Structures are given as structure tokens and as C-alpha cells.
Chains A and B, each alone.
Chain A
Amino acid sequence: MDAIFLQILNGLDKGSAYALIALGLTLIFGTLGVVNFAHGALFMLGSFCAVTLNKILNLSVETIDPTKTDFLGNPLKVKTPYVQAWFGDDFGAAIIDWGVPLAILFTIPVMIGIGFIMERGLIKHFYKRPHADQILVTFGLAIVLQELIKYFFGANPIPTPAPDAFKGSFDFGAMLGMDPNVIIYPYWRLIYFGFAAVIIGAVFAFLQFTTFGMVVRAGMADRETVGLLGINIDKRFTIMFGIAAAVAGLAGVMYGPINSPNYHMGMDFLVLSFVVVVVGGMGSLPGAVLAGFLLGILESFASMTQVIDLIPGINQIIIYVVAIIILLTRPRGLMGRKGVMED
């Protein structure tokens, strides 16, 4: 019982990341009809926004402390980050400590900007081209973005720690009246899950309860008619692309403390996210979210030692196996709509 509960919890954080990326992919696909192979790269870029902010916050001024000397007898050089110099020691240290959550504020405008540039500069010209061309050009873009990041930040993972307050683990078992230390779960993963839930909720609410969202949904259903009604649907779809990019970026920022950002994390997640989208049903937003969590949890169950002993290597391939089974039995995916990508 505890083991099952623990695995479900373990699956949630990975599932959240899958769900967020798949949500963005589906948004882009549903609105613009473009298959975006560069979406994983957007996830990675978000992660590196946090890295960049960390670097900026840690920019230091070097001062000489005359009261202390180093082992050679020279005056000791002390590095003080500018934020500490400006805002005082305690507050400055707190800002640095909270770098990752702060990066959220920094990431949203950056990612929306990147999304705008991508859509207006590149993707726009590919609406009328075949899907194969869209795949290829975004695939090329993904390689370029990934290599640029590698060039500027190096090939090694860069640790981006969570704030001190969220280090450590939460004892679930004790809360539920079980033995302590049986089901413990890192705080940050819990926060990641909550964060993902909020983002997903916000996107759905935005689409469901605002006029803008209504127009976008109408455009997803029948773009031509909405255009004929005199609504500039292209502009709204561009904004949706920006939002999708921001969602992927946010997923990346918050994932930093769980898994140190490296330049190829985007592609690792992209392949899985595509599988998630296909399992959920192309063009279905709830399907993407559902399949994301489902596959995340399945993956964590498959990683249990008992299961691996039974079927070796199942943890590596479970997602693909599920995808193959789903595609063969329910070709449209779990919640796919009729008429979307049927050709």
C-alpha cells in the first residue's frame, strides 16, 4: 500500500512536466496546426532562464577586507554579490536563495517574446507547407537552439538549487497516520506538482472563461468561419503560441532543482511529450494532461525494483509500449477528436 502510494507520488512530478509540455504542444497544434519539434528546446530554454538569472544575481563585486589575510599574508579578497551590496546582506542573500522562483517572473516575458519571434519569423511561413516540412524546419531549429545553449553554457549540467526553505522532504506517512519515514517526498517535487496544477488550471480557465479564450476555441474548431466574421484570428493564434512557449518555459524553470539543466534535456523530454500527445489524442487539451500524468505514474511504477526484476528494462520502454498499444487499439488516442489529423 505505501509502495503504491509512493510510486504515485513519484510519478506526479515527471507527469507534471510531461503534461505541461504536452499541453503546450497541443495548444500549438490545435491552434496553428503546426507540429512543433522545437517545443522541447523551449522547455530547455526556460530552464536556462533560471540558470541565467542565477548567474546575474551572483554577479559580484570584489572588495579587499583589510582586517583579514589569506594564508600568504595578503589582504583577503571578498566577493560580494551586487544584490547583497545594494539591498543589504540578509535581503540580498534571500534574493539569491530564491533565484528559481524569481526566475518565473523573468521567464514569462522572455519566453513569450521568444514564442512571438519564432511564430512571426519562422513558423508563419510554414502554415501552407506540408507537415513534413514543418517537422523538419522545427527539428532544425531545435538543433540550433540546443547547440547555441551548449556553446554558451557548456555541455555539463548546471545545478540550480531550490530555496533553502524547500529543501528536505515532507513526511506523508506521518500525516496520514502511518509509520513515519515510510512515505517521504521532497518538498520541491510537491511544489512542482502544485505549480503545474495551477498553470494547467490557469490555461484551461483562460480558454474557457474569457472572451479571448472563446474566440481562440472557436478558431480551433473552424478557423475560416471565425476569420470571415471579421476577427483577426492570426493575431490571437500568435498570442497562443507565445503562451504555449511560456508554459513550456515555466515547466523548464521549475524543473531545474529536480534535474540540473543541461543542453539536451529538451530533446529527452520532447520525444516523450510527443508520445504523450499521441496517447492523449492529437489536439485534445484534457487528453494531453491526462496522458501526461498517466504515463508519468506508469513510468514510476515500472521503475519499482519488483517490477524490474519481473520484466527487466520495462522502465525504459513502458511509455513506448503503452503508446504502441493505444495507437493500435484506439488510433485517435484516449480523448482524440474525430477529424483532427486524420489524413
Chain B
Amino acid sequence: MFGLDKKDSTLLLIVAVLTMFAPFILNPFPEGSALAQFNAGYPDLMQRFVIFGIFAIGFNILFGLTGYLSFGHAAFLGVGSYAAVWMFKLLSMNVIPAIFLAIVVSGLFALLIGFISLRRSGIYFSILTLAFAQMMFALAYSVLTPITNGETGLQLTLNDPRVLGQSATADGSIPVTSLFGMEMRQTFQLDMGAWLFQFNVGYYFSAVIMLIAFFIAIRIFRSPFGMMLRAVKSNQQRVNYTGLNARPYTLAAFVISGMYAGLAGGLLASMDPLAGAERMQWTASGEVVLMTILGGAGTLIGPVLGAGFIKYFENIFSKINDNVLHEWFAFLPDGLENFVVFVMHPFIGKGWNLTLGILFMLVVIFLPGGLVEGGQRIAKLFRKGKAKDSAKPTTKPAE
């Protein structure tokens, strides 16, 4: 299918089915039940799943294939968001031109930054990209305020020109983002007994784009270009000695992954038309690194899993508080209950970042190959004795 072999087609199909039926799958608990807080089937969160999935897929093309660890990828996400919001302000509320501009602008930035940063490899490259991202963050906060609106963040107003659209709707409010008239925030609701399923236009739009992005990523992974990038990762010196210049390949990978980040940024802005500098901060860059590693760098499905995992738990952890914990551990004796709640208190609510940091360390220390490797290890355990070598993993974890 589409030039993929059987295995990749199956993977793509599975991902497609999962994303299309996500509103059902992510909503397994009936409304109003005690477990309803674990539901993830509402538009806002599902949009973030797929958008950060795109971001992580793009990051994986750079890090997973070439081994170049960029610590400034959030900068491209931020640039994409700004570009998209400007398109909403100047042209129209249609998301297509906004996303297009977001991809182009972030691609240009990636070309410039990649051209300079890729002169060095290893740790130097990480530091350079981090420096660039911090520089852009600082600029967005201060001097570029006319473009970025500084700390407040870029927002739509009623006085924006919007040449092809309208400055304000008939009832005097700011128009909403749409795809040829289909509003992004529009949600169809389906009541089925105790369950309430929500089908959001924005989510399906982002999901389709993510599937396309995923497909392109598979093609890149399987192409000669992808092989070349893997060669750079396993031994760049040898590549050079063969008489090949690795830089055009790595630069292309960097630009592609920058464009993926820009696309994610543009989509974020399309779902909620505002852009702020904090999207470009180093913590945001660190988060995408974590998503990729957690899922499994260098694997196809890993980054998507990682993105979903992190965004889901970010949401859950931010929601629970001490009262919820007390409910959960009510079966314990009082003293023990209080103690458990006391121990867990720093990690929940606003403490999500702490949990994230610890998770980060645990994954790097114990599971460098991420969830995918973990799954393979478990699968291997079960298959032991049955088949000897037939279960050879095809995907290779990052070094």
C-alpha cells in the first residue's frame, strides 16, 4: 500500500484505525463514574496527543536516525505558532495557508540554524541548538515584541485586517479558525447510554495530518536517504572516508524535522489561535526529547506512543489532588494512608514537572530503548523456548 511493505502497511493501518476511533477508545469509562477522570476522550487532550505526536515523529527523524541530539527543537514549534497566528491576523481564518506558512517559515529557520549547528557534532551540536533556542526565546520576549507581542503572547484582535476573511463576525466577535467553513472547535456529541463521545473537527483534521506525517516518516525510514542517515549515526567517520559528504544529508534531516515541528506549532495555533514565547523554552525542548526517548528513539511508533503517554499523564497528574489520593488509599489504615498521601503529594498537581524529571532519569537509566524496547523484552520473555530466533526485533533502539 502506497509503496510500503506489508509490515509497515499493517502498522500504518493500525495507527490509522486507532486515531480514527480514538474518541471511543480513549473514553472507556461511563460518564459520572469514579473512573471517569481517567478518560482522555475529550477534544483538547486528543488534539494535543496527535499534535505532539507529529512533533515527536519529526524529532525522531533527526535524533532517531542520525543520532544528533537537538536541544532546541521547541524553537521551531514556537516559530510555527507565530507564523500561523500572523496568517490568521493578516490573511484569513482558514487553517491551510496558516499551516503552510508555519511549515515554510520553520523550515527556513531550521535551514539557517542547521547550517551553522551541523558544523559540529556530538555535545557541541546539542549546546549550539540549545543556545539558538534560548536566543530566539530571549528575542521573542524582548526586542521582537512588535512581532511576538512579548510576554502577553500573540493573540487575534478585532482590528486585524484579515484580507481574505472578515475582521469581525456579524455579532462583533473574533472569527474562529476553520477549514473552508468547518470550524475547528466544532464538536459532534454522541450519547450512548452512560457514555458521551465527542467528535471534534479539529481533532480529526490534526489526526489526518498526523497520519500523513507518519506515512512520510515511514517512507523516509525505509528510503535510501534514511539508510544514509543511519550510516551517519553508526559511524560518521567511515561515511566520510567512503568519500560521501554527510552534511547535506544531516542538514536535510534537520530541516525536515524542523518543518515537522513547525507543522505541529501551526496546528497548535490552529486549534487555539494564540502563540507565546514559553512554547520555545528549553523545558519544551526537553519534553520532546523525553517523548522520543520514552517511546523509543529510532523506532517508528515509539515517538507517537511517548507523546501520548506523556501528555496523558501530564493531564491526569495535574488533575488529581490530595483529596483524590485520600479517596484512593482509603482502604489503608489511617496513619499509613496519610503517610502515602504525604509521600505522593509533591508529585501530583503542580508537581508534574518533578514526576517528569524522575521519569526522565528512570527511562534513561533503565530503559534507553524506551517503551518499544520494553515491549520487545516482555514479548521475548513470553516467546522464550517456543521460537528460537524468529522473534528478532526489526527496530533498533537508539544508542
Interface of A, secondary structure class, is helix
Contacts of B126 in A (CB 8 A): 132, 135
Asked if B356 and A143 sit within 8 Å, CB to CB, the answer is: yes
Given the complex of chains A and B, what is the CA–CA distance between A343 and B139 in angstroms?
32
Given the complex of chains A and B, what is the CA–CA distance between A271 and B285 in angstroms?
13
With A132-B69, A313-B139 already in contact, the answer to whether A275 and B122 are too (CB < 8 A) is no
Interface of B, secondary structure class, is helix
Stretch touching chain B among A93-101, A109-117, A165-173, A323-331 = A323-331
Asked if B143 is at the interface (CB within 8 A of a chain A CB), the reply is: yes
A114 to chain B, nearest CB (A): 16
Given the complex of chains A and B, what is the CA–CA distance between A313 and B148 in angstroms?
14
Contacts of B130 in A (CB 8 A): 271, 274
Q: For residue A155, which residue of chain B has the nearest CB? A: B350
B361 to chain A, nearest CB (A): 4
Contacts of B283 in A (CB 8 A): 143
Asked if A304 is at the interface (CB within 8 A of a chain B CB), the reply is: no
**Pick from B124, B143, B346, B398: contact of A313, CB under 8 Å:** B143
Given the complex of chains A and B, what is the CA–CA distance between A147 and B359 in angstroms?
13
Contacts of A132 in B (CB 8 A): 67, 69, 126, 398-399
Asked if B360 and A328 sit within 8 Å, CB to CB, the answer is: no
Given the complex of chains A and B, what is the CA–CA distance between A313 and B289 in angstroms?
29
Asked if A141 is at the interface (CB within 8 A of a chain B CB), the reply is: yes
Contacts of A320 in B (CB 8 A): 131-132, 134-135
Given the complex of chains A and B, what is the CA–CA distance between A328 and B354 in angstroms?
37
Asked if A275 and B138 sit within 8 Å, CB to CB, the answer is: no
The 8 A CB mask of A308-330 against B (1 = contact, 0 = none) is 00001100110011011001100
Asked if B368 and A133 sit within 8 Å, CB to CB, the answer is: yes
Asked if A278 and B124 sit within 8 Å, CB to CB, the answer is: yes
With A137-B361, A313-B139 already in contact, the answer to whether A278 and B127 are too (CB < 8 A) is yes
How many residues belonging to A are interface residues under a CB distance threshold of 8 Å?
A: 40
Contacts of B144 in A (CB 8 A): 313
Asked if B360 and A317 sit within 8 Å, CB to CB, the answer is: no
Given the complex of chains A and B, what is the CA–CA distance between A122 and B365 in angstroms?
9
B214 to chain A, nearest CB (A): 24
With A143-B353, A144-B354 already in contact, the answer to whether A316 and B138 are too (CB < 8 A) is yes
With A140-B364, A316-B139, A317-B135 already in contact, the answer to whether A327 and B120 are too (CB < 8 A) is yes
Asked if A61 is at the interface (CB within 8 A of a chain B CB), the reply is: no
**Residue among B127, B346, B360 having the largest count of chain A Cβ atoms under 10 Å:** B127
Q: Report B163-220 residues with CB < 8 Å from chain A CB.
A: none
Asked if A136 is at the interface (CB within 8 A of a chain B CB), the reply is: yes
Given the complex of chains A and B, what is the CA–CA distance between A59 and B121 in angstroms?
52
Asked if A328 and B131 sit within 8 Å, CB to CB, the answer is: no
18 CB < 8 A contacts A-B: A136-B69, A140-B290, A143-B354, A144-B357, A146-B357, A147-B351, A147-B353, A267-B282, A313-B139, A313-B142, A313-B143, A316-B138, A316-B139, A316-B142, A317-B135, A321-B135, A324-B131, A343-B121
